[in-house]
Amino acid sequence: MAEIAIETIDLTKNYGRVQALRGLNLRVAKGEIYGFLGPNGAGKTTTCRILTTLTKPNAGQARVSGFDVISQGPQAKNGMGVVAQHTNVDGELSVYHNLKLHGMLHKMPASQREARIDEMLEFVGLAQRRSSPARQLSGGLKRRLMIARALLHGPSVLFLDEPTVGLDAQTRRRIWELIRQSNRAGVTIMLTTHYIEEAENLCQRVGIIDGGRIIAEGAPAELLAKAGRFVVEPSDGQGQSRFFETRRLAADHAASMEQNATIRRANLEDVFISLTGKKVRP
Ligand SMILES: Nc1ncnc2c1ncn2[C@@H]1O[C@H](COP(=O)(O)OP(=O)(O)OP(=O)(O)O)[C@@H](O)[C@H]1O
C-alpha cells in the first residue's frame, strides 16, 4: 500500500461493560477517500473520537499522518481537520470571525491566515456572506463554513462525521463536490456516513464496521462483486434475499422458488444487510 495516512492497530475501547471497539484494524492510504459505514452503535464515532484525540483507547494504537494520537496528540491534531456531525459554528460571530478564530487557535501567522480565509471563503462559495452572522446561514451553508474552517490551517487529513446528514439532495451534491475537490488538492478524507449512496458515489474504499470490528473492506465495486451482483428477493418481503453472480443463476433460483420473487442488481445496501443483518438506517 502507498504511504499510510490513518492507521489503527488492534484498537480497543470499553465504556464500562460495553465493548465499543474490539481490536479495530484500519489503514487508509494517503490521498484516499475512505468511507466508514456501520449500523448504529457499531463504533464509528468512538473510532473517530480516538483518531481526532478526543477519547483515549483502552488498548491498541492509532496514528494519523504518522503521529501517534496518544503520545503525539498536538502534532497529530495540527495535521487534521475535523467536521463534526453536529453544527458547531459560533452563531454570534460572523462567517469571517469564525474562520479567524480558528486560524488564531492554530497559530497561523496573520498574513497567511487572512489570505487563506479569502481562499477558503471562495472555495466554499461564502465570499459574499463574509460579514453575515453565522446563525443567519442555512444548514447547508453552515456545513460549508465548517468545511472551510476544518481546511483553513491546511491539514493533510480531513475527518467528516456524517457530513450531509439532514441536507437536501442538491446541497448534498454540492458538499460532495467540495469533498472531491479538497481530495484532488491532496487531502486524505475519512468520512462516516449512513448514506449508502454517499459511500458509493464518493469513496474509493469503504470499511464496514459492526460490533467494534471491521467486517468487510474494499472498493464499493469489489464488495458488490464479492457478494454477488444480482439479488433474488421474495416479492412478499418475507424471507431472505440471496445473491448470485449472474442474472442467469439468479433467474434459475427464482424459478425454483415457491413464492414470487424479484431479480435486481445488488447495491451496497444489500451487501451491508447480508454482512451485518441490519439496515444502515434502522
Ligand atoms: N460515552 C459513552 N458511554 C457509554 N457507552 C458509550 C459511550 N459512547 C458510546 N458508547 C457505546 O459504545 C458503542 C459504540 O458507540 P459509537 O457511538 O461509537 O457507535 P456509532 O457506530 O458511532 O453509532 P451511531 O451510528 O449510532 O452514531 C455503543 O454500544 C454505544 O452505546
Which backbone phi and psi does 133 adopt, to 5 degrees? -60, 140
**For range 238-250, the mean pLDDT:** 85
Tell me the per-residue pLDDT of 114-157, one tens digit each, with 9 for 90 and over.
Answer: 999 999 999 999 999 999 999 999 999 999 999 999 999 999 99
Tell me the per-residue pLDDT of 173-219, one tens digit each, with 9 for 90 and over.
Answer: 989 999 999 999 999 999 998 888 889 889 999 999 999 999 999 99
Residue 167 CB neighbour total at 10 angstroms: 16
Residue from 11, 14, 40, 50 to probe ligand 1 pocket by mutation (most atoms less than 8 Å from CB): 40
Pocket of ligand 1 (CB under 6 A): 15, 18, 20, 38, 40-46
Which residue's CA is minimally distant from atom 24 of ligand 1?
40
- Kindly state the DSSP code that residue 31 receives in the 8-state scheme: T
Tell me the per-residue pLDDT of 55-88, one tens digit each, with 9 for 90 and over.
Answer: 999 999 999 999 999 999 999 999 999 999 889 9
Which residue's CA is minimally distant from atom 3 of ligand 1?
15
Question: How far is ligand 1, taken at its centre, from the CA of residue 46, in Å?
Answer: 6
The domain 4-222 is placed in CATH, from the list 3.40.50.2300, 3.40.50.300, 3.40.190.10, 3.40.630.30, at 3.40.50.300
Residue from 13, 15, 162 to probe ligand 1 pocket by mutation (most atoms less than 8 Å from CB): 15
**Which residue's entry shows cell 454477488?**
228
Task: Quote the percentage of the chain above a pLDDT of 70.
Answer: 98
ipTM above 0.85, yes or no: yes
The whole-angstrom separation of Cα 161 and Cα 156 is 17
What stretch of H or E contains 44? helix 44-51
Q: Where do the domains of the chain lie?
A: 4-222, 227-276
